[in-house]
Amino acid sequence: MGLSEYERLAAREGLQTLHAANLATVDERTASPEVKRLYDEFRQGFGRPQVPGILQCFATHPPLLEHMLGVAKEMLFVDGALGRQNKELISAFVSASNRCAYCADSHAYSFRMQGGGKDAVEAVLACDLGSDAIAPPQQVLLQFARKVTESSQEITEADMDTMRTVGWSDLQIAEAIHVTALFASFNRVVNAFGLPSQELLHNYEQEEAVHGG
């Protein structure tokens, strides 16, 4: 069996250190004891030796970092009602829509690691929701996420009925709203700080090509 998502990241994360272009994040070497404790909590909880750049952005306000660790553990990186693959699908799509290279890359990588197809991820990153590579229920899911992102004030009961018609439950719809809205925030934080892409998806696809995946 191949490496898990986090084992694979851990194996290559020492290769580069990202630097935010616009505003300094919180480096562990100079972090407060409270932030160091939260970074340790992240490493123990997720099995990753390096703290991601987005968490280093949140660490400028330690209570926010602590809150975001809870969101990651209880909402983003668990199956929940939608399942991890669908959450990563939404996360990658919303991030691509918001032109956030860092988040689009990292969640496209996670989508692939959760079993998502190469053609599907390419369509998602191109925001091509008419692609045959995206299954019809997922097309509807992403169309809903697009409307939440671009014109949430226009959401009506008819949008909920469209989601229900293709099989999404009310709890799944609620999770889709939460994930979409969270990434509206995450993308803006990352873009404003100036975090570059980690090139996780590119490296993944290269490794897959080498090993015949």
Question: Residues 35, 9: one domain?
Answer: yes
Select from 113, 102, 104, 112 the least CA-distant residue to 53.
102
- Domain span including residue 23: 5-77
Question: How many domains in the chain?
Answer: 2
| Same domain flag for 26 and 68 | yes
* pLDDT, average across residues 134-162: 98
Q: Do 91 and 182 belong to one domain?
A: yes
What's the pLDDT band for 1 if we cut at 50, 70, 90?
A: very low
pLDDT at position 25 is 96
pLDDT in tens, 108-142: 999 999 999 999 999 999 999 999 999 999 999 99
Domain check: are 95 and 184 in the same one? yes
Residue found by looking up tokens 């390419």 in the block: 122
Query: Would you state the structure tokens that stand for residue 26, as one six-digit string?
Result: 């919180």
In a domain, 198, yes or no: no
Last residue of a domain, one of 17, 42, 77: 77
Domain assignment present for residue 62? The answer is yes
Residue 96 pLDDT exceeds 50 = yes
Of 51, 77, 103, the last residue of a domain is 77
Q: 62-91: per-residue pLDDT in tens?
A: 999 999 999 999 999 999 999 999 999 999
212 is a domain residue: no
Instruction: For residue 29, tell me if it sits in a domain.
Output: yes
In this structure, which amino acid lies at residue 179?
V
Q: What pTM was computed for the model?
A: 0.90
Other C-beta atoms lying within 10 Å of the C-beta of residue 201 = 24
Q: What is the pLDDT of residue 6?
A: 58
Does residue 206 lie within any of the structural domains? no
Which tokens go with 107?
A: 């969640």
Position 152, amino acid: S
Domain assignment present for residue 208? The answer is no
Same domain, 127 and 185: yes
Tell me the C-alpha distance between 12 and 203, whole Å: 10
In a domain, 51, yes or no: yes
Based on the domain organization, do 94 and 133 belong to the same domain? yes
Considering the domain architecture, whether residues 49 and 117 belong to the same structural domain is answered as no
Q: Is the dihedral of CA 33, 39, 44, 49 positive or negative?
A: negative
Q: Could you write out the DSSP letters of every residue in the chain? A: -PPPHHHHHHHHGGG-----SSS----GGG--HHHHHHHHHHHHHH--SS--HHHHHHTTSHHHHHHHHHHIIIIITS-TTT-HHHHHHHHHHHHHHTT-HHHHHHHHHHHHHTT--HHHHHHHHTT-TT-TTS-HHHHHHHHHHHHHHHHGGG--HHHHHHHHHTT--HHHHHHHHHHHHHHHHHHHHHHHHTPPP--HHHHHHHHHHHHT-
pLDDT of residue 15: 40
- Average pLDDT along the chain: 92
User: pLDDT digits over 5-14, tens only?
Assistant: 656 665 555 4
**Do 88 and 187 share a structural domain?**
yes
Residue 112 makes CB contacts below 8 A (sequence gap 6+) with 118, 121, 201, 204, 205
| 92 shares its domain with 133 | yes
Whether residues 14 and 108 share a domain: the answer is no
CATH of the domain at 91: 1.20.1290.10
pLDDT at 48: 86
- Identify the domain boundary among 42, 77, 112: 77
Does a structural domain hold residue 118? yes
pLDDT of residue 10: 56
